[in-house]
Amino acid sequence: MTNRTGRHFLQIPGPTNTPLPILAAIAKPTIDHRGPEFAKLGLEVLTGIRTIFKTSGPVIIYPASGTGAWEAALVNTLSPGDRVLMFETGWFATLWNKMAKRLGIEAEFIKGDWRSGVNADAIEARLAEDKAHTIKAVAVVHNETSTGATSNIAAVRRAIDNAGHPALLLVDTISSLGSIDYRHEEWGVDVTVGGSQKGLMLPPGLSFNAISDKAVAAAKKAKLPRSFWDWEDMLAINEKGFFPYTPSTNLLQGLSVAIQMLHEEGLDNVFARHDRAAEATRRCVHHWGLEIQCQNPQEYSSSLTAVRLPEGYSADGLRAEILTRCNMSLGNGLGPLADRVFRIGHLGDFHDLMVTGVLSGVEMGLRVCGIPHQSGGVEVAMNYLSGNARATAQAAE
């Protein structure tokens, strides 16, 4: 049977489900990207997106995936042969490291275990050794999508300051922006990289660089080749609401609605909703007797949960069975975690019933595949959610 009945559950850690109001905005007729109507839209989203990053400074919007914004962060701030210090939290930190090397940057990678976040003490120690300040930037991932571990960015900032080091701080917040509290300005981040397809609830296609004054100053001296990604042309024309090349006009229409929806719910409420879903999921997984990939509870991600299967059992086989039976997509294991881990996304546009429905599908799959587990995990999740329900009356007012 090729036709799968019922609603498809897209429960990967991004792209996430796109709400109908955002889809409706994207589906509006394309407007003139050099006309006054677009100028109003441009100023609206360029100003509004700052509130999501929690910054008063500029946020540059690219018609690209998050990978493009990674590259923009590097080429605008660094020169050939510059040294950047990175930390191996998982697959996406590894890819960013590989990109830096391909661009001619000396990327120094502090080894990690793929089960925890950034070790700020290790960064401080390495920077303290760098008396000549050869390290020009520290680049880390806030929420490692491959492992479900969230790093303490404020601690990384303190590590740089404690070492008395002038390095820039670059942070990837692609899978945490709009779902986990993030504070670009308060945490002293110089470049924050974001993407549209996760907590912002949009399809893929927009990416972001939130930049500090220090980053702008560094860009004036940086020597890596750049044209499409160059901040200077962007900053100049963004002041009038326009872009130096044809932007993703319809996605920007959707972004305007996404920002509005996040503020209508209230960012604190958005983060609390994600926290609750994540905790319910983890309690369910623990009841099943399965292991969570992230080992430090203080670093558990509120965007996703990566679950390890016992030796000898296939995570990809489980995912395939769940897709066939339940029409539900789960995230696969990446790199060394391939076929060992499956990932449950709980970010973006969702509610309690969707969370329990996802967990029901996973428990059914575990049973069908004969994977050892203790049944009743969904009941544990329901008990937690029903005992910690948000008051909805105020939200409805």
What is the rounded average pLDDT for all residues in the chain? 96
3 found inside a domain: no
Q: Is 343 annotated as a binding-site member?
A: yes
* Domain containing residue 238: CATH number: 3.40.640.10
pLDDT in tens, 322-366: 999 999 999 999 999 999 999 999 999 999 999 999 999 999 999
- Tell me: do 155 and 253 sit in the same domain: yes
Confidence of residue 392 (pLDDT cuts 50, 70, 90): very low
What is the count of structural domains for the chain?
Answer: 2
pLDDT attached to residue 50: 98
Neighbours of 374 (CB within 10 A): 13
2 found inside a domain: no
210: its two tokens = 């939130």
- Tell me: do 172 and 108 sit in the same domain: yes
- Tell me: do 277 and 209 sit in the same domain: no
168 with 197: CB under 8 angstroms? Answer: no
- How many Å apart are CA 150 and CA 145, to the nearest integer? 9
pLDDT at 12 over 50: yes
204 found inside a domain: yes
- How many Å apart are CA 335 and CA 37, to the nearest integer? 45
- Tell me: do 248 and 391 sit in the same domain: no
Domain boundary among 263, 283, 315: 263
Q: Print the domain residue range for 123.
A: 21-263
- Tell me: do 76 and 184 sit in the same domain: yes
CA 174 to chain centroid, in Å, comes to 3
For the segment 367-386, the average pLDDT, to the nearest whole number, is 98
pLDDT at 390 over 90: no
pLDDT in tens, 215-266: 999 999 999 999 999 999 999 999 999 999 999 999 999 999 999 999 999 9
- How many Å apart are CA 122 and CA 245, to the nearest integer? 42
For the segment 171-189, the average pLDDT, to the nearest whole number, is 98
pLDDT in tens, 291-328: 999 999 999 999 999 999 999 999 999 999 999 999 99
Phi-psi region of 286 (alpha: psi -120 to 50; beta: other; left: phi over 0): alpha
